[in-house]
Amino acid sequence: MALRRVVTAEEDTLRKKSREVAAYDDKLWVLLDDTHQTMDKFGGVGLAAPQVGILRRVIIIEDNDTKYEFINPVITSMKGKQREVEGCLSMPDEWWYVERPDKIHVRAMNRYGKEFNTDADGVFAIAICHEIDHLNGVLFTDIGDERVEDEQELEKAKRARNRKKNKHKHKRR
Ligand SMILES: [Zn+2]
């Protein structure tokens, strides 16, 4: 495993559309393992392959101390709305309120090329939407409706988000 550099928002890479994964092989597993390691090092709750410089449709999300790998993820349905503060490892100084669906259903492949489906809500749904946006060259600052600049406001917003995090549940099948 190797630590990779996190690509920043000034770089073109984050504006490009990532390609689907076709081969579930060593090369993919190295990418996944490196992405895990990089996320652990920098402390995010999600990371997309383009953020480590690889334009492939691969994302990793951490939720309640479990990491989930999604390869070629597709949101097949969404319901409701929620608005929480978001940050991004590629833009460490930016915090924005973003409106997202409250519940989503996702179809994806695992690292061995087997399809799975997941229901997600709350903060887990937010993280999946945020990372899938990265695969399409979209940044949260593009769709955020309000930048949070005040330190106290930011702490309040993060606490509200964490309360939601502790409450939510999701199923994988
Ligand atoms: Zn991000």
- pTM as predicted: 0.94
- The pLDDT of residue 171: 52
Find the mean pLDDT for residues 63-69.
90
Topology at the third CATH level for domain 12-172: Peptide Deformylase (3.90.45)
Checking if the pLDDT of 165 tops 90, the result is no
Output the CA 132–ligand 1 centroid distance in Å: 9
Q: How confident is the model at residue 44 (pLDDT cuts 50, 70, 90)?
A: confident
Output the CA 88–ligand 1 centroid distance in Å: 4
Find the mean pLDDT for residues 85-109.
97
Q: What order do you get walking across the sheet with 171-172 strand by strand?
A: 46-48, 58-63, 66-79, 103-109, 115-121, 171-172
Please say if 20 is a catalytic residue.
no
H-type alpha helices, the chain: 26-42, 122-135, 140-143, 151-167
Work out the mean pLDDT of the chain and round it to a whole number: 94
Task: Given the residues 69, 84, 86, 131, select the one marked as catalytic.
Answer: 131
Domain layout of the chain by residue ranges: 12-172
